[in-house]
Amino acid sequence: MNRIILIGPPGVGKGTMSSLLESRLGLVPLSSGVIFRKEIEAETDLGRLAKRYIDHGELVPNGVTIEMMAKRLRENNVRRRGFVLDGFPRTVRQAEALTEMLDDESLHLDETVSLEAPEELIVHRLAGRLGCTKCGEIYHSRNKPPKREGLCDKCNSHLFVRSDDQPETIRERLRIFHEETQPVIDYYDSKGLLRRVNASDGPERTYAGIVIGLQQPVGEVIPSLDASSEGTS
Ligand SMILES: [Zn+2]
């Protein structure tokens, strides 16, 4: 079983890699965003606490985030199947807390993968998205182009680039990402746990770059183990 952290800018393909690691190695995908949403929806004590900060436009404190993640990491299926973390740890304080949690349980972390791609490629990927203002349909200039340029296939309205996907906005999001995560990358680098993987040559090559660092060969997870762990938490 393997335990992996994925770090990478928006648009680099973390979601795709999490899905592949789940379907092929049986790892439990632990996305901090999803875990937050579930805690808030279930109105747990932690969820209510986190919501108070979010509603006030404030960052959720490290302590609350760490407690939410710790809760998931202690679950039986996560312990048995291993995990792939996405969106956590985001700060060195969180990374240190994760190290302590794993040490306490005598669990080891296999690797922290930094998914890397040239900024131009990421901007190109994200900036290609087009939305229909009338019916909401989403297109992509390269991956899912409309039949007639600039017009919606369904309702014939004009297509627009969302403000979040404007090249300047994307560059700013990338700048903030690098500023925030560099200390975390340095932290794992200093522990000898960092692996830099080129994420610009398609999902299969990226995936190969991730699993080459794992001790357990691909395909060693037994499907029945996966199935029997459902509902255990
Ligand atoms: Zn439309």
Mean pLDDT, residues 65-69: 93
Q: How far is CA 41 from CA 30, 36, 47, 219, in A?
A: 17, 9, 7, 35
Residues shown for the chain:
233
Residues 75 and 189 in one domain: yes
Same domain, 160 and 91: no
How many angstroms is it from 74 CA to the middle of ligand 1? 45
Residue 16 has pLDDT above 80, yes or no: yes
The Cα–Cα gap between 182 and 1 comes to: 28
190 and 76 within one domain: yes
Domain check: are 22 and 97 in the same one?
yes
Residues 124 and 113 in one domain: no
Q: Which residues contact 141 (CB under 8 A, 6 or more apart)?
A: 128, 129, 130
Distance 193 CA to ligand 1 centre (A): 47
Q: How far is the CA of 14 from the centre of ligand 1 (A)?
A: 29
Q: Cα(119) to centroid of ligand 1, in Å?
A: 30
User: Where residue 20 falls among pLDDT bands split at 50, 70, 90?
Assistant: very high
Domain CATH code at residue 71: 3.40.50.300
Report the separation in Å between the CA atom of 142 and the middle of ligand 1, taken as the mean of its atom positions: 18
pLDDT at 157 over 60: yes
Same domain, 150 and 36: no
Beta carbons of 31 and 21 less than 8 angstroms apart: no
Ligand 1 mean position, distance from CA 161 (Å)? 13
Report yes or no on 155 lying in a domain.
yes
Per-residue pLDDT at 224: 41
Asked if 45 and 160 sit in the same domain, the reply is no
- Among 77, 76, 64, 74, CA closest to 32: 64
Q: Tell whether 207 is covered by a domain.
A: yes
The answer to whether residue 89 is domain-embedded is yes
Ligand 1 ion: residues within 5 Å (CB): 132, 134-135, 137, 152, 154-155, 157
Same-domain check for residues 13 and 61: yes
% the chain with pLDDT above 90: 63
Mean of the pLDDT values across residues 96-103?
Answer: 95
Would you state the structure tokens that stand for residue 32, as one six-digit string? 């901090």
Whether 33 and 88 map to the same domain: the answer is: yes
230 within a domain of the structure (yes/no): no
Domain coverage including residue 175: 2-117+168-216
* CA neighbor of 9 nearest in space, from 168, 144, 182, 163: 182
Q: How far does the centroid of ligand 1 lie from the alpha carbon of residue 159, in Å?
A: 8
Task: Report whether pLDDT(152) > 70.
Answer: yes
Same domain, 174 and 156: no
Residue 198 · residue 117 · CB < 8 Å: yes
Q: How far is 158 from 108, CA to CA, in rounded Å?
A: 52
**Is the pLDDT assigned to residue 41 strictly greater than 80?**
yes
Domain count, the chain: 2
At residue 216 the predicted structure's pLDDT band, cuts being 50, 70 and 90, is low
Beta bridge partners of 195: 113
- CA 166 remoteness from chain centre: 22
User: What residues are labeled active site?
Assistant: 14, 90, 129, 162, 173
Decide which of 106, 138, 165 is a domain's last residue. 165
pTM of the predicted model, to two decimals? 0.78
Q: Are 91 and 152 part of one and the same domain?
A: no
